Amino acid sequence: MKNSEKEVRGPLSLFSAIKDRNIINKELNRGFLRLKFSPPVEEAFTNYYFHHSITLMRISFILGLLIYASFGILDMLIYPEFLKALWAVRFGIGCPIIWAIFFASFYVKKEIHLQLITSIGVFTIGITVIIMLIIISSDPSQKYYVGLMLVIFYGYLAIGLRFRYAIPACWGIAIAYFLLSFFLIRPEFHFLISNSFTLFFANLIGMIGNFLFEKSIRRNFLLSNLISIDKEELEAINLELEKLSVTDELTKLANRRYFEDFLEKEWSSAMRYRYPISLMMIDIDYFKNYNDHYGHRAGDECLVRIASAIKDFERRHGDLVARYGGEEFVMILSGTDADNGRRIAEEIRKKIMDLRIPHPASAISDVVTVSIGAVTLIPSKNIQKEDVLEAADKALYQAKSEGRNRTVYVELN
Same domain assignment for residues 261 and 364: yes
141 domain-assigned = yes
Residues 269 and 167 in one domain: no
Q: What is the mean pLDDT of the chain?
A: 90
147 and 296 housed in the same domain: no
Active site (annotated) includes residue 327: yes
Q: Where are the alpha helices (DSSP H) in 3-38?
A: 21-28
The reply to whether 208 and 265 lie within a common domain is no
User: Does 238 reside within a domain?
Assistant: no
Q: Which CATH number fits the domain that encloses residue 328? A: 3.30.70.270
Same domain flag for 262 and 333: yes
Q: 183 and 88: one domain?
A: yes
Residue 142 shares a structural domain with residue 79:
yes
pLDDT tens digit sequence for 158-204: 999 999 999 999 999 999 999 988 888 777 777 888 888 999 999 99
- Inter-residue contact 403 to 364 (CB < 8 Å): yes
Same domain, 188 and 47: yes
Kindly state whether residues 404 and 361 are assigned to the same domain.
yes
Query: Could you tell me the residue range of the domain that residue 332 belongs to?
Result: 256-411
**Distance (Å, whole) CA 148 – CA 125:** 9
Looking at the fold, whether 165 and 262 belong to one and the same domain comes out as no
Which among 82, 200, 172, 59 has a CA at the least distance from the CA of 133?
82
Average pLDDT over residues 200-224: 94
Residues in CB range of 152: below 8 A, 6 or more apart: 126, 170, 173, 174, 199, 202, 203, 206
CA dihedral 338, 340, 346, 350 (to 10 degrees): -170
Q: What is the per-residue pLDDT across 248-260, written as a single tens digit (0 to 9) for each? A: 989 999 999 899 9
Identify whether 356 is part of a domain.
Answer: yes
How many distinct structural domains can be found in the chain?
2
In a domain, 312, yes or no: yes
pLDDT tens-digit map of 82-115: 999 999 999 999 999 999 999 999 999 889 999 9
> 193 and 296 in one domain?
no
The percent of residues above 90 in pLDDT, for the chain, comes to 69
In a domain, 244, yes or no: no
> Are residues 152 and 34 part of one domain?
yes
User: Is 130 a domain residue?
Assistant: yes
250 in a domain, yes or no? Answer: no
Question: Is residue 80 domain-resident?
Answer: yes
Catalytic residue among 27, 214, 266, 327: 327
